[in-house]
Amino acid sequence: MKRETAWRIFAGEFNDSTFEIKGDGEKTPNYIVTPLGAKVNRVFVIGVLTDVENISEEGELIRAHISDPTGVFTIYSGQYQQDVTDALSNIEVPAFVALIGKARTYTPEEGTLFVSIRPERIVEVNANLRDKWILETCKNTKERIEAYLEAMKMSESNLNELRKLGYSKEHSEGIMAALTNYSEVDLNKYIKLIEESLQYLKPGNEILPDIKPEKRIEETEKTTHEEINEDSVKKSEKQDEKIQETKEESDEDSEDIENTVLETIKKIEGKDGAAWDTITEKCEKAGLDKDSIEEALNSLMDKGLIYEPILGTIKTT
């Protein structure tokens, strides 16, 4: 099963999300749909880690916050992401960090939905990489605004028409879900997020005037390409490419690793399941490292292929 793409998305858009697509079956992933139509299962964030707090008596669950120019991402990490939890606990805040993680929701009552991220990996980075992420996320946000506008222009918006314009199946599905489930999306708000983020990179530029969204999108694109400090972007390019290459290699290998872990569980689980430590030990003997095993276990649980009937015991579905 192919791993979901990690979206670059600003906190201001992510936190506005109030609609979730639940998987039809145990093996189907869930998605958060943002007001601009991003259909999000995983995210890639670079920002400032501002605080880390233990929120359980045993210290097994921590809450952290990562700030970008538009808002704050909330992060929850526990014992089943122990390496990430340890890393978060050991980073001296404030610090620039890059994080890849799963989008999560919490619904305390009907009609109320809160979003957060469960981290898969986190690493300290420099300000140049943070600036490059902001630049790329501005571009991606602008593209979502343009796609949303295209859908609004259609007399009858539908998936096939969006696909004909070159949008991916996932993005087209997200746009349709956003049009159906969000009323009166304020596109100017998200254009403003782009403008403010660009100002964050290079203070002193004038904010663009309040004109029609189509024109402001065009001006925002010009600002993106002409008014960012190119030296900062170039300096971070090589390091950013290394991170991306590592991520792509990890995505390609993840399916094989997950298959190995799943087959190991099937062989040893018996009637009552298999102990987490035993699974890890067997997989390490098969040549997998601990980080890859833990990531595979978490991913298999997300896909509904395994579950945890009691703490520390895993069974296949």
Q: Could you tell me where in the chain the CATH 2.40.50.140 domains are found?
A: 6-226
Which tokens hold the place of 119? 């981290």
More confident residue, 17 or 205: 17
CA 210 vs. chain centroid, Å, equals 31
Among the listed ranges 110-124, 159-173, 211-225, 235-249, which one has the minimum average pLDDT value?
A: 211-225
Q: Is the pLDDT of residue 108 over 50?
A: yes
CB atoms within 10 A of CB 3: 17
* Top CATH class, 6-226: mainly beta
Is the pLDDT at 36 greater than 80? The verdict is: yes
Of 127, 9, 137, nearest to 73 by C-alpha is: 9
pLDDT band at 193 (very low <50, low <70, confident <90, very high): very high
Quick one: 72 exposed, middle or buried, by C-beta within 10 A (0-12, 13-18, 19+)? middle
Residue 311 binned pLDDT confidence (cut-offs 50, 70, 90): low
Rg (CA), the chain: 21
Residue 50 pLDDT > 70 = yes
pLDDT in the model for residue 252: 52
Is the pLDDT assigned to residue 253 strictly greater than 70?
no
Q: Is the pLDDT of residue 74 over 70?
A: yes
Q: Is the dihedral of CA 229, 231, 235, 237 positive or negative?
A: positive
Total Cβ atoms within 10 A of residue 61: 15
Average pLDDT, the chain: 79
Is pLDDT larger for residue 56 or for residue 227? Answer: 56
In the chain, which ranges are continuous DSSP H helix? 11-14, 82-90, 127-153, 159-164, 169-181, 187-201, 213-226, 230-268, 276-285, 290-302
CATH class of 255-316: mainly alpha
Residues of the chain with CATH 1.10.10.10: 255-316
Mean pLDDT of 107-132: 87
Confidence of residue 249 (pLDDT cuts 50, 70, 90): low
The C-alpha angle with vertex 277 and arms to 275 and 282, in degrees rounded to 5, equals: 95
